[in-house]
Amino acid sequence: MDTKAGFVAIIGRPNAGKSSLLNWLLGEKIALVSHKAQATRKRLNAIVMHKNAQIIFVDTPGIHEKERLLNKFMLEEALKAIGDCDLILFLSPVTDPLSYYEKFLELNKKNTPHIVVLTKIDKVDNSKILEKIEEFKKYQDKFLELIPVSVNKNIGKDDLLDTIVKYLPNHPYFYDPELLTTENIRDIYKELIREAIFENLSEEIPYESDVIIEKIEERSDLDIVNAMIIVEKPSQKGIIIGKKGATIKRIGKSARKKMEEFSGKKIYLELFVVVKKGWTKDKKALEDLGYQF
- 291 CB-contact burial (10 Å; exposed 0-12 / middle 13-18 / buried 19+): buried
Given a contact cutoff of 8 angstroms between Cβ atoms, the answer to whether 207 and 38 are in contact is yes
Nearest residue to 189 via CA among 258, 108, 101: 258
Give me the helices (H) in 92-231, please: 99-107, 126-136, 157-167, 185-200
DSSP classification of residue 169: P
**Packing angle of the helix pair 234-241, 246-263 (nearest 10 deg):** 70
Report yes or no: 93 and 102 within 8 Å, Cβ to Cβ.
Answer: no
Task: Report d(CA 252, CA 250) in Å as an integer.
Answer: 5
The pLDDT tens digits along the chain (293 residues) read 589 999 998 888 877 888 889 889 988 766 555 444 444 555 678 889 999 999 998 877 665 566 556 666 666 666 676 777 899 999 999 999 999 999 899 888 889 999 999 999 999 999 999 999 999 999 999 999 999 999 999 999 999 999 999 999 999 999 898 888 877 788 889 889 988 998 888 776 777 888 999 999 988 899 999 999 999 999 999 999 999 999 999 999 999 999 998 888 999 999 999 999 988 888 888 888 777 76
Give every CB contact of residue 219 below 8 A, 6+ residues apart in sequence.
Answer: 265
Angle made by CA atoms 41, 255, 155, in degrees to the nearest 5: 65
- Tell me if 4-167 shares its fold with 185-288: no
The CATH superfamily of 4-167 is: P-loop containing nucleotide triphosphate hydrolases (3.40.50.300)
* CATH class of domain segment(s) 185-288: alpha beta
| Domain ranges (residues) in the chain | 4-167, 185-288
- pTM, two decimals, is 0.73
